[in-house]
Amino acid sequence: MSDIKKVVLAYSGGLDTSVILKWLQDTYGCEVITFTADIGQGEEVAPARKKAQMMGVKQIFIEDLREEFVRDFVFPMFRANAVYEGEYLLGTSIARPLIAKRLVEIARQVDADAISHGATGKGNDQVRFELGAYALMPNVKVIAPWREWDLLSREKLLAYADKNGIPVDFKKRKGGAPYSMDANLLHISYEGGVLEDPDFEPEDSMWRITVSPEKAPAKPEMLELRYQHGDIVAVNGRKMSAAKVLTELNRIGGAHGIGRLDMVENRYVGMKSRGCYETPGGTIMLRAHRAMESITLDREVLALKDDLMSRYARLVYNGYWFSPERVLLQSLIDQSQVPVNGRVRLKLYKGTVLVTGRESKTDSLFDPAISTFDDDGGAYNQADAAGFIKLNALRLRIAANLGAKRRPKK
């Protein structure tokens, strides 16, 4: 272990990563550099600096990555309409490649021998962090303490913290929440603890950024989103940066009880896992984006995107953001978004998002003269449909005739 002289640790300042910090110092006898990312988790990151300094860390990186997170990771993913297993909007999954990217960039900057993270050996995050790191720094050494140490219970972590003088939040010492929570600007996830029973209904107090639909306002709220090349550039007529768009949609959507999800998903490592998620802004974004595409994209382009969506979502979920296949898919998806320009109007009401209008003055493929059920002035010859139907029915008729010949005669 003596070849490890310097390690960059993804550090939150919480119990687990604080114990990891000390454990790395003790076990590897190395210098630890901490990296704390603000990706919109809603908690102060400054205390992480004070705690790291108290534990002897000399180089501390604390960075506001909210804009980069939404602009370069969330928005590209939503251009693909990515949904994992029909429901999950990939809030945790999409944050990991950004953290991995900065970990290896800092490792290069400080000439570190290794990087380290606090993901457990049973979850998806270890895969996401490490696949991302290896894709960007092929020979990087990764230290994953949860796969090496014997501190496999909260009691052991607390005992280690007490022995080494690591401050522990009072709530953590008392057991804290009966589940684990992870937050960023796209969502909050809850799992573990009492949620490991898939038949247990969480208390309403668990949810942090959405009101229950029952308690949401009795009056609907109208919302207008303006799109440019598949990305939202304005909310209710106000131009905003990517991070501010998502922040505003979280605020509005959360107030109307939008974006709650309770699902059992299949982890990449092979087990099923129950998770609860709050994604108010993302839920609005998905609905609006599909509405914008409905009038600006060709039928077969839409169908191709839908065919690829589940593949794309699995790549993100499983940690392959920096893989050549995801990059290739992104290039195709981004090309499809060139004409996705215009505005979408929505009605938000008690947990629901209803599209009430969509318009593109420059790129709409919706032609009222052809689509109308009234007299179209000859724009569409309905008699042509007979030949179209017969040609498409030809294989069905051939098979039916063959089946009739095979049936035994009475």
Residue burial 100-129, b: 16+ Cβ < 10 Å; e: rest: bbbbbebbeeeebbbbbbbbbeebbbbbbb
The answer to whether 74 touches 246, Cβ cutoff 8 Å, is yes
Q: pLDDT digit string (tens) for 168-196?
A: 875 555 556 678 999 999 999 999 999 99
Q: Who has greater pLDDT, 169 or 24?
A: 24
Q: What is the pLDDT confidence band of residue 324, given thresholds at 50, 70 and 90?
A: very high
What is the residue whose two structure tokens read 């689509």? 371
CB neighbour class for 377 (10 Å; exposed up to 12, middle 13-18, buried from 19):
exposed
CATH 3.40.50.620 placement within the chain:
6-86+94-176
Q: Cα(100)–Cα(94) distance, rounded to whole angstroms?
A: 11
Task: Give per-residue pLDDT as tens, 92-121.
Answer: 999 999 999 999 999 999 999 999 999 999
User: Picking from 92-96, 102-106, 315-319, 367-371, which range would have the lowest pLDDT averaged per residue?
Assistant: 367-371
The pair of structure tokens assigned to 310 is 């589940």
pTM (whole model) above 0.85: yes
- DSSP-H helix ranges across 261-322: 280-296, 299-318
Specify the pLDDT at position 1. 47
CATH hierarchy code of domain 183-297+339-359: 3.90.1260.10
Mean residue pLDDT of the chain comes to: 95
C-alpha to C-alpha distance for 85 and 88, rounded to whole angstroms? 7
Confidence (pLDDT) at 178: 78
Tell me the mean pLDDT in the region 263-289: 97
Q: Choose between 132 and 173: higher pLDDT.
A: 132
Statement: residue 408 has pLDDT above 90: no
Q: Which residue has the higher pLDDT, 172 or 7?
A: 7
pLDDT of residue 175: 56
- First and final C-alpha spacing in the chain: 84
Three-class secondary structure of residue 349 per DSSP: strand
The CATH code of the domain at 6-86+94-176 is 3.40.50.620
Which pLDDT does position 172 carry in this prediction? 58
Say yes or no to pLDDT of 57 above 50. Answer: yes
Inter-CA distances, 287 with 250, 356, 404, Å: 14, 11, 47
Q: Give start-end residues of each CATH 3.90.1260.10 domain in the chain.
A: 183-297+339-359
Residue 238 phi, psi (nearest 5)? -100, 120
Q: Which of 78, 87, 135, 129 is nearest to 334 (CA)?
A: 78
* pLDDT reported for residue 174: 59
The span from the CA of 211 to the CA of 405, in Å, is 63
Is the pLDDT at 351 greater than 90? The verdict is yes
Mean pLDDT across the stretch 357-374? 95
Q: Provide the token pair at 337.
A: 């978004």
CA-to-CA dists, residue 394 to 3, 245, 278, angstroms: 71, 51, 49
Catalytic positions are 16, 96, 125, 180
Instruction: Please say if the pLDDT value at position 220 is more than 50.
Output: yes
